[in-house]
Amino acid sequence: MAHLIRHKISNKITNAMNTATNKSQAKVSGVFARMGFQAATDEEALGFAECDDLDYDYRQGMRMDVLQTEDGGEDMTGDGLEGDSHYQRDGPRHRSSVKSGAACEELEQDKPKITAWEAGWNVTNAIQGMFVLGLPYAILHGGYLGLFLIIFAAVVCCYTGKILIACLYEENEDGELVRVRDSYVDIANACCAPRFPTLGGHVVNVAQIIELVMTCILYVVVSGNLMYNSFPGLPVSQKAWSVMCTVALLPCAFLKDLKSVSKFSLLCTLAHFVINIVVIAYCLSRAHDWAWEKVKFYIDVKKFPISIGIIVFSYTSQIFLPSLEGNMQKPSEFHCMMDWTHIAACVLKGLFALVAYLTWADDTKEVITDNLPGGIRAVVNIFLVAKALLSYPLPFFAAVEVFEKSFFQEGTIFPDCYGPGRKLKSWGLGLRIALVVFTLMMAIFVPHFALLMGLTGSLTGAGLCFLLPSLFHLKLLWRKLLWHHVFFDVSIFVIGGICSVSGFIHSIEGLIEAFKYNLPD
């Protein structure tokens, strides 16, 4: 009993010391660290995805060091100690390596805690990005049901974001919630343990890689599309414009971190909001010509599932939510932050999609700015191309980090792609360049923005936003869920599964049809 009391007192003292240390590090980091944190997030906020593993490794390594110091090598026995060890059960498997230790420590020091407003700004960037430009095209094929789906997707994504965070916590012996997991991958691994302790993480990583690479491809596609429609008189095809844009992206292969491009992220995001306002203002100026009679109550059965994927993809933010919530000053404000960000996104997306469709009706194009008059279209599209090219490094760098951690480190399938002093080897640089070229080749051979966006949303967007969070919530918290939570989770899983399969099939059919009949890009 005395040993148990000493152990609990030691834990509390250690936690207090760690809290004080973290606060002092945040103060020392100061304004520059805060600016760095904010700037490193773009409209997709994909920088958080590649930070999750580093955050988790560092924290688990520190926790295990504390346990070893407290126990002094003694064997932990007793009911109370069994409870404590339960919350450290994943520690040995994820303990930080020597290579990533310094990077993790620097990452923790450079990222002070953020407020709910700052967290909300990051989420807003993720769900109010460039891909909102495809929503009017979704209304074209979905009518009023498309508007309903914009609202429905906002509600569901907000809910699944909350339950995903709930899966990070478990109750200790005192009935208090303790954060025992730190990333989406940790949640997936916990669901598959003990029989397949790493299977879930592999599934999430594959989905994450697909979504990141597809995001890069979409940036190249939309850049070529915007340039081609901005200068239709030039004898340059959309594919040629995509090649020229990709040449400007080749330096991404040399990136060691995102500091060199992060300073542009906030400016690009603000510019995008201005562009949205310009489009809405133009549409409002033509309100007397709005075609209300064109908004349908029926749907195009073949193309509407593609619209579902487009809408879902525009709300994807679950990948980085665990890291974001872990960096909030007051995690208790996370739910409120999710509510107001998704309500705002729902209202703005619905208004943008509706007024744009009412303005151009059946002539609505895959990228709505292509419908603007020539002079306005060229200026707006050039700004959008600049934004797309400056946004490309974020998902590219995140994808590279996931690839390197999964396949190109000691203990993985392939040898380490870094030499002494963390210098990238020549063949590692070649692989990065190959990834840039791969995104170009995909953009050239599949230059259909809406179809690719629908395919990605149906494949990985629905999985990461609908299917996996509801499944993990049922698996990890089954005994604590009320009947209506179970009903919501099962309903979301079933509906999400149907929409995912249907959208994927119809997106593939649309791509086949586009190639078969040589439909315009």
pLDDT at 242: 93
Q: Is the pLDDT of residue 123 over 60?
A: yes
Find the mean pLDDT for residues 266-285.
82
**Burial of 449 (C-beta count, 10 Å sphere; 0-12/13-18/19+):** buried
pLDDT value, residue 412 = 73
Return the sign of the alpha-carbon dihedral for residues 103, 108, 110, 116. Answer: positive
Least confident of 1-5, 141-145, 157-161, 370-374: 1-5
Q: How confident is the model at residue 324, as a pLDDT?
A: 87
What is the band of 103 on the pLDDT scale with cuts at 50, 70, 90? very low
Given this model, what pLDDT does residue 12 score? 56
pLDDT digits (tens, 9 = 90+) for 293-308: 888 887 777 788 888 8
Write down the pLDDT at residue 435.
Answer: 93
| pLDDT recorded at residue 14 | 57
Which residue in this structure is represented by tokens 């025992």? Answer: 180
Residue 22 to residues 25, 237, 325, 326, 327: CA-CA distances in angstroms? Answer: 5, 54, 16, 13, 11
| Residue 359 pLDDT level (bands cut at 50, 70, 90) | very high
The segment with the largest mean pLDDT, out of 71-85, 197-211, 413-427, 504-518, is 197-211
Percent of the chain with pLDDT over 70: 75
Mean pLDDT is lowest, of 258-272, 363-377, 425-439, 478-492, for 258-272
Per-range mean pLDDT, top range of 7-16, 66-75, 114-123, 468-477: 468-477
- Quote the tokens at residue 478: 């089954």
The predicted pLDDT at position 355 comes to: 93
- Lowest mean per-residue pLDDT among 200-209, 214-223, 396-405: 396-405
Separation between Cα atoms, residue 187 and residue 200, nearest integer Å: 8
Read off the amino acid at residue 11. Answer: N
Mean pLDDT of 409-432: 79
More confident residue, 262 or 108: 262
Lowest mean pLDDT among 7-11, 235-239, 388-392, 448-452: 7-11
Amino acid at 445: F
Residue 409: which of 109, 54, 108, 61 has the closest Cα? 54
Sign, CA dihedral 328-329-330-331, equals positive
Average pLDDT over residues 418-425: 78
Sign, CA dihedral 432-383-365-298, equals positive
Secondary structure of 43-70 in the HEC alphabet?
CCCCHHHHHHHHHHHHHHHHHHHHHHHH
**How do residues 156-212 score in pLDDT, each as one tens digit?**
999 999 999 999 999 888 888 899 998 899 999 999 988 888 889 889 988 989 988
Report d(CA 217, CA 443) in Å as an integer. 6
Please say if the pLDDT value at position 107 is more than 80: no
pLDDT bucket at 56, cuts 50 / 70 / 90: very low
Out of 100-114, 271-285, 404-418, give the one with best mean pLDDT.
Answer: 271-285
Helices (H) and strands (E) in the chain, counts: 21, 2
CA distance readout (Å), 127 to 27, 318, 434, 503: 30, 10, 29, 20
Residue among 349, 346, 313 at smallest CA distance from 499: 313
Mean pLDDT of 385-391: 85
pLDDT digit string (tens) for 335-354? 999 999 999 999 999 999 99
Q: What is the mean pLDDT of the chain?
A: 78
Query: For the whole prediction, is pTM greater than 0.85?
Result: no
Distance CA(267)–CA(383), nearest Å, equals 11
Phi and psi at 7, nearest 5°, equal -65, -45
Kindly report, residue by residue over 247-271, the tens digit of the pLDDT: 999 988 887 766 655 555 666 677 7
Region 5-33 average pLDDT: 50
Identify the CA nearest to 254 among candidates 404, 424, 381, 12. 424
pLDDT value, residue 519: 66
